[in-house]
Chain A
Amino acid sequence: MSATARLPRKRFYRARAHSNPLSDSHFPVPICPSDVDFASHYPQFSGNPMVRFADVGCGFGGLLVALSPLFPDTLIIGMELRDKVTEYVKDRIHGLRPTNPGHYNNISVVRTNSMKYIPNYFHKAQLSKMFFLFPDPHFKEKNHRRRVISPHLLDEYAYVMQLGGILYTVTDVDELGDWMKSCLQNHPLFEPVGEDEITTDPVVKLLTSATEEGQKVARNGGQTFMAIYRRVASKED
């Protein structure tokens, strides 16, 4: 048994194995937010563009495409783990831009694992909205720690969100809905958004209608469970 096995050399953007054990792909991870070339994602925006909305687990890009015209001056990024799906979203956006001049320049996608690398992409208090649409339920109790909304991970999401920023979650699995709501309710840096505000927020109806997953649930007549919370300041002194 050799004790001096060679280790691969690392590039500046390290290539790491996919966290999903079923797949062997690699993707580059930025060392820190300043290293991310967001300008190349949004070529029509000059200066130092700051992303404000993040769609965590954006899937095939339904929400991104629906949000884009509602917030034309806001930069929105989708984050997706699966490489083929990310390529799809890229191709979709690159197909939409030339056929709709002046539109869809404010959305883009990166392939990454949001559960590990959110602080690598965003500065403190950068985001004003975060979306978690139909996340993987991970039913078995031993897999609960793989859920994208959890008490520990909410610390990181709170860190990248502005005070007053809003975090949206929706699922068709009622147990997961209870879980997410309970994690958010128990977290000291999040407070529920009031009903009246929810009814006037133009984004809310997109949660269930904009994505393929949401449309499928509606077709099957399923119920959806939302938990919408605002990032607030810590209560300590």
Chain B
Amino acid sequence: MEEGLIEESESGNSCTDEAAPALIAVHPTESSVVVAVGSELRIFDLKGDSAVSPLDELGGPHHSASIRAISFSSDGELFASAGDDKIIKIWKTDSWNCIRTVQSEKKVSAVSISQDSQYVTFADKFGVVWIVSLKEDRDTKAVPILGHYCSIITSMKFSPDGRFIATADRDYKIRITVFPRNALKGAHEIQSFCLGHTDFVSCLAFVCSQDQSKGFLLSGGGDLTVRLWDYISGSLLYTCALDDKAGILEASEIEENDKRAVTDICASSDGSLISVAVQGFNGVMLLSCDLVAKTLSFVKNVSMEKSFIPTSLVLVSSKERLWTVMGASNLTSSDLNNNNQRLLTRVRIISFLQKDPLDSCSRDPALLEDSQVPGGEKLLMQLQGCLDAAAQEAAFAAAAAAVRTSLQNMMIKKQYSVERRELRKRNRNDKKIKS
């Protein structure tokens, strides 16, 4: 009797657990934009000015559960998507045809394509990073290359020169591992650990300027800091605490005692412009990195409409534009007349066009109106699901709260009572895939 009740409240919990944030990715030349929300991949081809539906001519399944990670390759020719349905799909971006579907034993939390586009790596929720080679036969299984013991990998990025792979986890750690030529044998040589975050690490971004041979790494986390690292040695160069930055406390709708976290970060390749998304903040925080002095400084906040809390950011350096999206896998239209309940997202873009080319400090970020967005209404309709997303304030506010709760549930290890634990063990379904 009591067990039944426990089961019910468990499933009640799992609804909020599954509020997966919407993600956005943009081709390096901005020829296409992808928003992943729930199990949908919404693609807009900016060059051809049309919406695109991804195909799987090999007959593989489309994503059937929330997509948790997406990534373009550095040259833009490939795109990878993966998530709670335990599959990773690799797409060619010219035709948006799926060239490979890889099976994972566990839900996937991060995906990345190597700099030479030869390998795709993905991290599962048990902390193991797996790899497939795109040169191999399609049916070849993924092999594990490294593991963060008993932790969830929140972010995984390759260094720009392709020599290293950085993985961050919920146990406050960032590991920098040498990515070997024959990566299928495993990545066993750890270059460094970047230790310093006092809470989970949520996002990573590599930075290196052209005149500097050294590379740097930026990270953001649940301790509401952005940190700058020399990833070769693992030294912490600078910590920028965001909790005292102007505007964040006033704009925040979260109660004082709730934790706020950095949820996403992206940087121009020279580090001069860093954009940060923070839970509870309806906008984007801009920072700047001085790679010579090795410091980070706060530049300003760019506020957006109330309730628009970006869930994913991507910077297109070539066009000086920051694309942001807000959405969640449980965010549907509250329009009762609309029987077709589509998942909603809201896309906003910030432009960093320099007014005076001679003065790099005169960059004034401008939030683009819907009419100024590349691709216009067609793009917004395809990616957002509707054109009046701005009017759905209440729905967005609820989604923001759900995404925040699900992130916290994922990052803080749950403590179960002995009875609950035994019950959960009985219902385990992480069977190994039979070869």
Contact = CB atoms under 8 A, between A and B. Distances in A.
Interface of A: 1, 3-4, 6-7, 10, 12, 14, 16-17, 19, 21, 31-33, 115-116, 119-120, 124, 151-156, 158-159, 187-189, 234, 236
Interface in B316-352: none
A226 to B, nearest CB: 23
Contacts of A3: 16, 401-402, 405
Interface string B396-416: 000001100100100011010
Contacts of B234: 124
A153 B185 CA distance: 15
A156 B190 CA distance: 7
B16 A6 contact: no
B148 to A, nearest CB: 8
15 contacts: A1-B12, A3-B401, A4-B258, A7-B408, A119-B175, A119-B193, A124-B190, A124-B192, A151-B144, A152-B146, A152-B147, A158-B188, A187-B188, A236-B178, A236-B181
Interface string B179-194: 0110001111110110
Contacts of A16: 413
B435 interface: no
Contacts of B171: 116
Contacts of A158: 188-190
Contacts of A31: 172, 195-198
B173 interface: yes
A3 B17 CA distance: 10
A207 to B, nearest CB: 25
Given A6-B257, A10-B199, A115 B16 contact: no
A189 B188 contact: yes
Interface of B: 9, 12-13, 16, 128, 144, 146-147, 149-151, 171-173, 175, 177-178, 180-181, 185-190, 192-193, 195-199, 234, 255, 257-259, 401-402, 405, 408, 412-413, 415, 421
Contacts of B147: 152-153, 155
Contacts of A189: 188-189
A116 B149 contact: yes
Contacts of A12: 198
B149 A153 contact: yes
A155 B190 contact: yes
Contacts of A17: 413, 415
A188 B195 contact: no
Nearest to A153: B149
Contacts of A234: 178, 180, 188-189
Nearest to B412: A7
Contacts of B198: 10, 12, 14, 31
A12 B198 CA distance: 7
B188 A115 contact: no
Contacts of A14: 172, 198
A12 B9 CA distance: 34
B9 A151 contact: no
A1 B189 contact: no
A236 B408 CA distance: 40
A158 B177 CA distance: 12
A7 B259 contact: yes
Contacts of B186: 151, 188
A155 B9 contact: no
Contact of B401 (A1, A4, A32, A188): A4
A6 to B, nearest CB: 6
A153 to B, nearest CB: 6
A1 B149 contact: no
B149 A236 contact: no
B190 A159 contact: yes
A188 B258 contact: no
Given A4-B401, A10-B198, A19 B150 contact: yes
Contacts of B181: 236
Nearest to A12: B198
A119 B148 CA distance: 11
A33 B173 CA distance: 13
A158 B190 CA distance: 8
Nearest to B171: A116
Contact of A32 (B9, B128, B175, B196): B196
B149 A119 contact: no
Contacts of A7: 257-259, 408, 412
A21 B258 contact: no
A47 to B, nearest CB: 21
A157 to B, nearest CB: 10
A116 B170 CA distance: 12
Given A4-B258, A32-B195, A188-B185, A155 B146 contact: yes
A116 B16 contact: no
A156 B169 CA distance: 15
A152 B13 contact: no
Contacts of A1: 9, 12-13, 16
A124 B176 CA distance: 12
Contacts of B192: 124
A30 to B, nearest CB: 9
Nearest to A124: B192
Nearest to B177: A155
Most buried by B among A12, A32, A236: A32
Contacts of B185: 188
Nearest to B15: A1
A4 to B, nearest CB: 6
Contact of A4 (B188, B255, B413): B255
A115 B412 CA distance: 19
B20 to A, nearest CB: 16
Contacts of A6: 257-258
Contacts of B180: 234, 236
Given A159-B190, A236-B180, 9 more contacts: A4-B255, A4-B405, A7-B408, A116-B171, A152-B147, A154-B188, A155-B187, A155-B190, A234-B189
A19 B415 CA distance: 11
Nearest to A2: B405
Nearest to A24: B415
A152 to B, nearest CB: 3
A188 B16 contact: no
